[in-house]
Structure 1
Amino acid sequence: PDVVITQDPLFRYGPTYINHPDHRAVADATLAAIMPTANTLLAALDLYEEGLEPHDVREIYLGSAVNPTVFVPLTTEDLNRKFAALREHHSQLDGWSGEQMVRDWAAEAARMAREAGIDCEFAERFGYIRLKDDPKDEPVAEETETAAEA
């Protein structure tokens, strides 16, 4: 993929929450799979021998970021979809909705978003890593040569 969304492996705890070790492990494993594994030929030579080429992921979004730089405003409808998704985690959450916790997290992210100039009641927060520019954003050769000559 060109864009990957995962947890922030630096997110360990908050004022009322300790992050699950499996969430941190998945975040670490995801980042390790992106770099160096996905884009380094020798890191997965067996995959190359099967015909798979190294791949450069362009962007990574880290959910629940310790140092967020991207904020996505959420509507009440978005929150309701999140609540419905939580209710489907029967093995972990039966008897507990998690709605207040999610609402509090979204309100805290919105507070951070407002500090960044984005007015919203609820938000998601992400850390952002840009590993590679989109080829569509790169200048064409003639423009580069003209700029170099100037």
Structure 2
Amino acid sequence: MKKPDRTDAGDAFALFSISVIRLAQHLTAAGDALAKPAGQSSARWQVLAAASHASMSVAEIGRVLGLARQGVQRIADILETEGLVRYEDNPAHQRAKLLVLTPEGQAILNDIQTRQAEWADALGAEIGETDLRTTTAILARILDELSKPKSPAR
């Protein structure tokens, strides 16, 4: 079977895509390692962090994190059982409760964030601030382009 022809720019984007997928795997593994001493996973850490930024419903957290509401709901329910979050009434929606950190949840989050800061500082120093900021700007452009409605390729 013949591979489809791509332009040089298409080949560059395909290589970029594979690199980002590999990066995501490494970041998830690093997140799990950073969260593990606090008895958490990177997924739980993401939900704790989202709940700490603003009062949001599970569905809103899912949208912010790019995750399915059902997955976030499952994690939020576990975190509630563990006493790390609680549900509060939402003045904007009768049924969609807001997820709020408890003091115990904030302490767990602080513990994870302290380890993450040390890790990020070391890795950032190794790679370099300028390269990281340039890469972030390019990634933001790609994300913006991908979020624009496009007709599917034939």
- Structure 1 length normalisation: TM-score? 0.29
- Structure 2 length normalisation: TM-score? 0.28
Q: Which has the higher strand share?
A: 1
Q: Which has the higher contact order (CA 8 A, sep 6+)?
A: 1
